[in-house]
Amino acid sequence: MAIQHTLSIIKPDAVAKNVIGDIIRRFEENGLSVIAARMLRLSAEEAGRFYAVHKDRPFYKDLCAYMSSGPILAMVLEGQNAVALNRQLMGATDPKQAEPGTIRADHADSIEANAVHGSDSPENAESEIAFFFSDLDLHSRR
């Protein structure tokens, strides 16, 4: 398994609940390192660009409003198999389907306000990381 980078976002609901530390602890305890981090608030237009792949889905407008409703913490995680490992730690999109002990099982409010984002492939990780960070922002531990 190769060392990978992936984009993680702690979404507005989880930032508002003050569980940033709990979420990062889970990453670190499972072998992922935070190599870049930035708190920001997206505009609805920026959220729309980030989630452009979902533009034809019925929930797109609500999703953009929710993702721009408060600050988020965007991070780059580094580690063995980081893309799939992060998805495993996150749990299923719908917290009702998420495995017990996952971030979404423990912190998500709904299928929309589900605490975290994680890239779903190495290719998407690369473009999602570039949405928030430049190469100079990444501090690899390799």
Active site residues: 117
DSSP 21-43: HHHHHHHHHTT-EEEEEEEE---
Q: Which is nearer to Mg ion, 106 or 120 (CB)?
A: 120
What is the footprint of ligand IDP within residues 52-91 (CB under 6 A)? 54, 59, 63
Q: Which stretch binds Mg ion (CB under 5 A): 44-52, 74-82, 116-124, 130-138?
A: 116-124
Q: Give the relative orientation of helices 82-90 and 20-29 as an angle to the nearest 10 degrees.
A: 130
3-class state of residue 76 by DSSP: strand
Q: Which stretch binds ligand IDP (CB under 6 A): 1-9, 21-29, 37-45, 109-117?
A: 109-117
127 is a site residue for ligand IDP (CB under 6 A): no
Q: Do 19 and 103 contact (CB within 8 A), yes or no?
A: no
Q: Which is nearer to ligand IDP, 129 or 140 (CB)?
A: 129
Site residues, Mg ion (CB under 5 A): 120
Site residues, ligand IDP (CB under 6 A): 54, 59, 63, 93, 111-112, 114, 117, 120
